[in-house]
Amino acid sequence: MFRKFMMITVLVSMVSCDDGGGSKSTCETALSKVDSCGMLTDGPYDCRDFTSSAEDRCIADCLIDAPCSELEDAMCNNVQGTNLQTCMNACDTNTGDFTCDSGETIPMDWKCDGEEDCPDGSDEVGCPEPEMFDCGNGEEVFADYQCDGEEDCTNGADEAGCTVYAEFTCP
């Protein structure tokens, strides 16, 4: 259940809305709904990580269809068993687990994520090298960390000059 709350937060705070056309995308529509409920600060919507996968579209549709009171209950008041949670749980398309060479299992989406999650490191064997961002002070962080809203470089270079997007807030 906590995973779904995190998915809501991720969708609201960091979701890619480019639908390739001039129409309003699913992500923008979902964030517009959350915004109309008074749950986003001022700023452009951040849809960079929205993949247009069936799961992301399903989650966005759940947000669009939920009344504001239910969005607030689920996202701010931690009310359990809402229709929104039921809808989002039905969206879960988890592809299963990855079995490490040492026998342990980890979520499949941890494989090739740039971090060794298996004790033996087998989840990163044969994976492409992750792209890195040069902080300019001898330090490097994953390129995906640039402009993600968190300073990962000790000098903050990964967040310098980034757009300030609307952020989730409780009314």
Whether residue 29 is predicted with pLDDT greater than 60 in this model: the reply is yes
Q: What residues does each domain of the chain span?
A: 2-91
What pLDDT is attached to residue 89? 84
Q: How far apart are CA 39 and CA 60, in angstroms?
A: 15
| pTM of the full structure | 0.59
Task: Identify the H or E element spanning 133.
Answer: strand 132-134
Q: How far apart are CA 118 and CA 22, in angstroms?
A: 43
24 band by pLDDT with thresholds 50, 70 and 90 = low
CA 35 to each of CA 45, 50, 91, 125: distance values in angstroms, whole numbers, following the listed order: 9, 17, 22, 42
What pLDDT is attached to residue 67? 95
Average pLDDT over residues 121-142: 91
Question: Helix, strand, or coil here: 80?
Answer: coil
